[in-house]
Amino acid sequence: MEETLPAGSSSCPGVDLAPVLLIPEGVDIHRKRMEKDLNELQALIEAHFENRKKEEEELIFLKDRIEQRRAERAEQQRIRSEREKERQARVAEEKARKEEEEARKKAEEEARKKKAFSNMLHFGGYLQKTEKKSGKKQTEREKKKKILSERRRPLNIDHLSEDKLRDKAMDLWQSIYDLEAEKFDLQDKFKRQKYEINVLRNRVSDHQKMNQASPALSLPLSVPCLLFSLLE
């Protein structure tokens, strides 16, 4: 209840004071308590928005990192594509060279065959002339030698086998090179992802500890989930 002094009454003689409002002691304590609660609430709100600002800055940083990683992956893909084009160009060039080499060897082989056939004809004529001159009969052994000589043909497979082995060796080398490059890229990617996951786990752990210490500052669980989803 409000209490007022009678009008005209004053502790000082000759001074007329207006009615003075007196606040009961219980009302004053309640007002001070409300002011304290409001100050604490204001401090909590400011701390909440400060933490939210920091988390938004971290999200921006993570987005920048993701964009940087995308750019790096695009650059790696471009390099691999250029390497593949260079490899295909080398394969095409090597194929053309081999075809030209095979055509040259084939022509040389045909020339050798014609020359050998011509020599055999001349040799056969020479034998016939010799037999006519000598008038001697051939023995069974000489006949066998002649038959084997006529049946024998030059084997032209050494250079073909060598080319096939060379092609196989080149293909194996290129496959090993590509596998090693892919292995290096996967190992580097695994290390980066492992490091980023550890960083995010530490941040989530710190955030949970902060929530346990100050429940009023807790944020929705979608924030840490969003942090992980950005890296997928």
Q: Read off the pLDDT of residues 28-75 as tens digits, 9 standing for 90 and up.
A: 787 888 888 888 888 899 888 889 888 888 889 998 989 999 999 999
What's CA 177's distance to the chain center, in Å? Answer: 16
The whole-number pLDDT of residue 91 equals 92
Q: Is 89 domain-assigned?
A: yes
Q: Is 48 domain-assigned?
A: yes
Q: Is 18 domain-assigned?
A: no
The secondary element (H helix, E strand) that includes residue 173 is helix 158-213
Res. 222 pLDDT band, cuts 50 70 90: very low
- Map residue 12 onto helix, strand or coil: coil
In the chain, the percentage of residues whose pLDDT exceeds 90 is: 18
pTM of the predicted protein model: 0.28
Range of the domain at 64: 27-119+163-208
Q: Is 215 domain-assigned?
A: no
> Residues 138-151: what's their mean pLDDT?
70
Count of H-run helices and E-run strands, the chain = 4, 0
Q: Is 141 domain-assigned?
A: no
Q: Is 74 domain-assigned?
A: yes
User: CB within 8 A of 193, min separation 6: which ones?
Assistant: 231
Both tokens of 230, joined, read 């950005």
User: CB within 8 A of 18, min separation 6: which ones?
Assistant: 7
> Residues 3-11: what's their mean pLDDT?
45
Q: Is 214 domain-assigned?
A: no
> Residues 6-19: what's their mean pLDDT?
45
Structural domains in the chain (count): 1
What's CA 148's distance to the chain center, in Å? Answer: 65
> Residues 136-144: what's their mean pLDDT?
68
| Lowest mean per-residue pLDDT among 8-17, 30-39, 139-148, 199-208 | 8-17
Q: Is 41 domain-assigned?
A: yes
